[in-house]
A and B are shown apart, each in its own frame.
Chain A
Amino acid sequence: MEKLNFEKKLKEMGKPEITQLKHEDLLSDSIINARDKSVVSWWWLSVPIFIILMLLMKSTFMPGTNLFSEMHELKSNQKLISIIFFLISPVILIVINTLTIRKIHFLSGSPKSFTFIGVVWFNLLTIVVSAFILIIYSF
């Protein structure tokens, strides 16, 4: 009798099912983290963008000046601010966002589709704008 009950129990038992994979958790966490990182990145990028816009406005209204001459003046007058916001922070943001994209690419199984770009487009935009700021600073 006991043996029959045990066999019945065995038949009723199914395979253990994992409804959610650990890998899926990791991927969703890294996507949310990437969004958070890109928001912080844009706060840090807003400072050099603001300075560039102000210099553009100044060069528009002052004859004989342009953005690059104003940039040279800023570099010589405000060394610390220009190094922090035009050199150090864009480099750090490029490295952080590249590593984040690489991690998501790895966790999502190295896809070669536009869906992946749709997920990380904000981080890609951050890298492009950071590179643009570095180019302006290097002139």
Chain B
Amino acid sequence: MKFPWFKRIGIFFIPATIAGWLILISAIAFAVYSFIDIDSRSHSASDTLMNFAFMCLIIGAVYSLIAYVTSRVNPPTP
């Protein structure tokens, strides 16, 4: 498997390979699904936005952890 999948620019990990793009697209798709799910259960716009922001932070934390682990360069083979 060819690493790194991501490269870091500031506080964001940008995909550098197809696998990285797949992870980013999955994260965005999950965020959209969460928004629809939260919106169907909430009572006001602020309720939706506050819960969605919380969910976005959790998705961002998990995504950045995956990106960090897969953005390491392959160790040199002996």
Contacts and interface: CB of A to CB of B under 8 A. Distances in A.
A43 B54 contact: no
A50 interface: yes
A37 B68 CA distance: 8
Contacts of A137: none
B11 interface: yes
Contacts of A83: none
Interface residues of B, number: 14
Nearest to A44: B61
Given A50-B53, A50-B54, A36 B71 contact: yes
B28 interface: no
Interface string B6-19: 00100101000000
A43 B57 CA distance: 7
B48 interface: no
Interface in A7-65: 35-37, 39-40, 42-44, 46-47, 50-51, 54
A36 B65 CA distance: 10
B57 A47 contact: yes
A37 B72 CA distance: 11
Main DSSP-derived SS at the A contact region: helix
B64 interface: yes
A43 B53 CA distance: 13
A92 B36 CA distance: 33
Contacts of B64: 39-40, 43-44
B58 interface: yes
A39 B7 CA distance: 12
A46 B71 contact: no
A100 to B, nearest CB: 13
Interface in A45-94: 46-47, 50-51, 54
A39 B53 CA distance: 19
Interface of B: 8, 11, 13, 50, 53-54, 57-58, 60-61, 64-65, 68, 71
